[in-house]
Amino acid sequence: MKKIKLITPVLLQDARYLAHTRKTGGIRETETLLAHSELTLRYYEVYCEQKRMGEIIQRLIAACGFRGEEAQTVYLMFLYAIYLHDAGKINPRYQYEVLENASFGADRRQARNTHHALASAYIYIDHMYKILLNNPSEAVQKCLAAFAYCICRHHGKLDNGHDFSNLETWDEKYYQSELDGSIFEYVRYYMQESGVVEQPLSFYILCRLLYALITGCDYCATQEFMTGHSMRPAVIQNGGENLKRCYDGSAICRSIRQYQKDPAAFSGNPINALRNQLFLETEQNLLARRDAHIYYLEAPTGAGKTNMAINLALRVLEMDSKINNVFYIFPFNTLVEQTRKTMHPFFGDQLVVINSITPVVMGRDDRKDNYEVAWLDHIFNNYPIVLTSHINFFNALFGCGREQCFPLLKLCNSVVILDEIQSYKNSIWREIISFLQSYAQQLHIKIIMMSATLPQLDQMLRTVDAQFATLVEDPQRYYRHPLFQGRVRLDFSLLEKGKITLEELKEEVLRFQGKRVLVEFIKKRTAREFYELCKEACNVVLLTGDDNVARRDQVIRRIDSGEKLILIATQVIEAGVNIDMETGFKDISLPDAEEQFLGRINRSCLNVGGAVAYFFDLDDASFIYRGDARLSYSIQDPAIRQNLQKKQFGEIYVRVFSDLIAQTSKANEKNLANLDENCAQFNCKKIEEQMRLIDRNWQLFIPYVWEDLDGYQVWEEFKALSGNREMGYAQRMVEYSRLALKMSYFTFSVFRDKIPAGAEEYGGYYFIDGGERFVEDGVLDREALEKYYGGIFL
């Protein structure tokens, strides 16, 4: 790539101005401000080389409506924003007090404080008008204001752009612009003005990508000076040829290719023959629609979607040379671990899990003890293949923090697999698909959405700009096949009786003693009550989400061993736990939830015709699923019941989509037009709040002794680590990640208006002393907690 040449402000060329200092072997070393600015821009060039960033930015600029010379001007403004992000470090008080630069002792009184980010924004605007802008259009000035705002926030969090107003009152003595002061007043005006933006979502993505590049390139350049280690984006080389060779040589793939050549060879194994048909159809349709941005993969539970997803990701790498990273996104950590075990034999160290309970990877390359390098790779998701949570994914797209934005750089030119998309909060489905279509189209991301109950969300778009493709032409062909549809017989006889009592339910469930039985409730409290009612009469276990990881794994191992037991659970088992039961009972809630539940019954498809799922009505589903548009379509309705039996989820979604479109078209805060306005004003905080998948909750740390693990000791380890100021930041964060799994055994999320009186707050957790009072056999007793503290813990 040709080296980028920009015009440097005269002040930055003064070698007296420093950007950083470090001590090596007791010797103080310095980095000039010019050297840091050039190294930061060099990291942008690295991203252009590895992730084709220049192409993406110019595509985004065009999507915003800029053409010709004006588009080139906006692109140069974009580059200058990266280059001049630290120009405000000419602040003499910053030089003298922060960097201990004696050259500025006499001048330090020219500044009120040591801040430099706002000064950088001011100098940036000044420089742009001096060298680049001559009577710019309103749209160009809008970009200038937004780019300056990104500079201003590069050492903090993004907030709401329309509040950016500081520059018009700038009066620092050390730097005074010769420009007309009204130019800086325009910054406030254009950040509040929405109408000059042609494509608001593209404008939001352009500005967000700039913020990620400013902060990301700055971080990498700073780390290189401070540690001596450079960063290189980790990408998949040669179209994934090595990965594909390993996968294609696996037993499962060889078996599928054998079927492709000779279907008759699988006449004695009809379920695998059906899975192979589905696998090959999705592959064929993917290759036929290379132009698509978003693909739908709808297939029954037990059809092998994970294996299909692996194959499809490899085929995308093969067919599109620009794609060089893979992200696999899950709604539950349990699914992450299950999929990691499936994929690791094929991809080895190229595959890394990033979530709240997995330790940071150490020992890559020859830098096994370098915490700074390990932490940088972690926060940038700097691995060829990443398995992560939907929370991390949404943080990359919408989060306001610097480190939340870093993975956005790796998402460019990637294939992203979104698993269980129906589990995302459906009150924002319309906003989700609007953003996903723009991100996919503008950042050249191939998105594969997959589920057994897949909502084709593009039906809610106002304008369809991206290309959508269905990978299974007729899903009903597979859903209606006896091996899938006949896998579980649905029984609604208990529903016909109306509301049921726990005593009546117990009588029904105990008829199946000696089988593996799953009973699912809506409320954790009800599940526990039923457990207490049954535990003396049969072999019964409880799994509600208020269980620690070790106990949950113990339960799953018991089921996998074939033990005959009754599992009492909540919706935590619907997609997050891979189990295979013989008979099921479920309290009705949402059509999607009913189908996900059915996926836990006769999952192996070996007991055709013998597995039964009974549905009953006990608790009010709105207690847990409040605000969900699907609540209006319960299987109490005979028509919805028939849709479930025939797996016609598309017919249900047509009605749900109609409701959601109506809700987001009303003249209130939910109107989709508000999304355009917030994007046009770059109101990041408002968008982050709007796109939050999970409501805020409290993290309770309730210690007890579990086998050989002492929660009190874990808490003291956590506090000691937090208070260790001799340990560097990167090392401390790595050590936190190593402690995270042990912390999770004693951490419980609750929704409540206020935290219990007397709970000790530390590091975002609330410590509840005497945890043995509230935890039994690794399961939180919420009723005991509520009785002791008063109020409800949801």
Write out pLDDT tens, residues 469-517: 999 999 999 998 888 888 899 999 999 999 999 999 999 999 999 999 9
Report yes or no: 544 and 587 within 8 Å, Cβ to Cβ. Answer: no
* Range from 89-93, 146-150, 289-293, 723-727 carrying the lowest mean pLDDT: 723-727
pLDDT digits (tens, 9 = 90+) for 51-84: 999 999 999 999 999 999 999 999 999 999 999 9
* Range from 177-191, 443-457, 524-538 carrying the lowest mean pLDDT: 177-191
State how far the alpha carbon of 487 is from the alpha carbons of 253, 341, 483, 599, 612, in Å. Answer: 25, 26, 6, 9, 9
Residue 792 binned pLDDT confidence (cut-offs 50, 70, 90): low
For 390-534, where are the alpha helices, taking DSSP H only?
390-398, 402-405, 407-411, 429-442, 476-479, 482-485, 502-509, 524-534
Any residues with CB less than 8 A from the CB of 159 and at least 6 apart, and which?
Answer: 153, 400, 684, 685
Q: Is 366 a residue whose pLDDT tops 50?
A: no
Whole-number Å distance between alpha carbons of 543 and 550: 12
* Residue 226 CB coordination number (10 Å): 15
**Cα 321–323–324 angle (5° rounding)?**
105
In this structure, what are the phi and psi dihedrals at residue 16, rounded to the nearest 5 degrees?
Answer: -70, -25
Whole-number Å distance between alpha carbons of 408 and 216: 10
* Residue 491 CB coordination number (10 Å): 15
Whole-number Å distance between alpha carbons of 645 and 643: 6
Strand partners, 388: 329, 354
Whole-number Å distance between alpha carbons of 355 and 407: 13
Q: Which residue has the tokens 């479109």?
A: 661
Whole-number Å distance between alpha carbons of 722 and 22: 24
CA atoms within 13 A on the CB side of 672: 20
Which token pair is 278?
């589905």
Whole-number Å distance between alpha carbons of 646 and 640: 10
Predicted TM-score (pTM) of the model is 0.94
Which token pair is 668?
């209130």
* Residue 566 CB coordination number (10 Å): 26
Per-residue pLDDT at 757: 73
Residue 117 binned pLDDT confidence (cut-offs 50, 70, 90): very high
* Range from 162-171, 374-383, 475-484, 670-679 carrying the lowest mean pLDDT: 162-171
Q: Tell me the mean pLDDT in the region 286-304.
A: 94
Residue 759 binned pLDDT confidence (cut-offs 50, 70, 90): confident
Any residues with CB less than 8 A from the CB of 382 and at least 6 apart, and which?
Answer: 231, 233, 234, 376, 410
Q: Looking at this protein, which amino acid is placed at residue 140?
A: V
Whole-number Å distance between alpha carbons of 336 and 224: 32
H or E segment at 625? helix 622-625
Strand partners, 387: 328, 353
Q: Is 365 a residue whose pLDDT tops 60?
A: no
Q: Tell me the mean pLDDT in the region 512-529.
A: 93
Report yes or no: 780 and 788 within 8 Å, Cβ to Cβ. Answer: no
Whole-number Å distance between alpha carbons of 335 and 388: 10
Which token pair is 792?
């409800």
Average pLDDT for the chain: 91
For 320-356, where are the alpha helices, taking DSSP H only?
333-347
Q: Tell me the mean pLDDT in the region 734-762.
A: 84
Per-residue pLDDT at 675: 94
Whole-number Å distance between alpha carbons of 425 and 436: 15
pLDDT digits (tens, 9 = 90+) for 19-49: 999 988 889 999 999 999 999 999 999 999 9
194 sits in the region (left: phi over 0; alpha: psi -120 to 50; else beta) called alpha
DSSP notation for 728-746:
-HHHHHHHHHHHHHHHHTT
Report yes or no: 142 and 190 within 8 Å, Cβ to Cβ. Answer: yes
Give Cα 700 to chain centroid, integer Å.
Answer: 23
Domains in the chain, please, with CATH? 10-227 (1.10.3210), 238-471 (3.40.50.300), 482-646 (3.40.50.300), 698-789 (no CATH)
Report yes or no: 635 and 514 within 8 Å, Cβ to Cβ. Answer: no
Q: Is 136 a residue whose pLDDT tops 80?
A: yes
* Residue 761 CB coordination number (10 Å): 12
Per-residue pLDDT at 379: 96
pLDDT > 70 in the chain, percent: 97
**Cα 84–86–90 angle (5° rounding)?**
105
Whole-number Å distance between alpha carbons of 424 and 429: 8
Q: Tell me the mean pLDDT in the region 422-444.
A: 94
Per-residue pLDDT at 388: 95
In this structure, what are the phi and psi dihedrals at residue 406, rounded to the nearest 5 degrees?
Answer: -50, -45
Per-residue pLDDT at 692: 92
pLDDT digits (tens, 9 = 90+) for 199-246: 999 999 999 999 999 999 999 999 999 999 999 999 999 999 999 999
In this structure, what are the phi and psi dihedrals at residue 713, rounded to the nearest 5 degrees?
Answer: -70, -40
DSSP, collapsed to helix, strand or coil, labels residue 748 as: strand
Whole-number Å distance between alpha carbons of 569 and 573: 7
| Axis-axis angle for helices 429-442, 390-398 (nearest 10) | 70
DSSP notation for 552-598:
HHHHHHHHHTT---EEEE-TTHHHH----BSEEEEE---HHHHHHHH
CA atoms within 13 A on the CB side of 21: 17
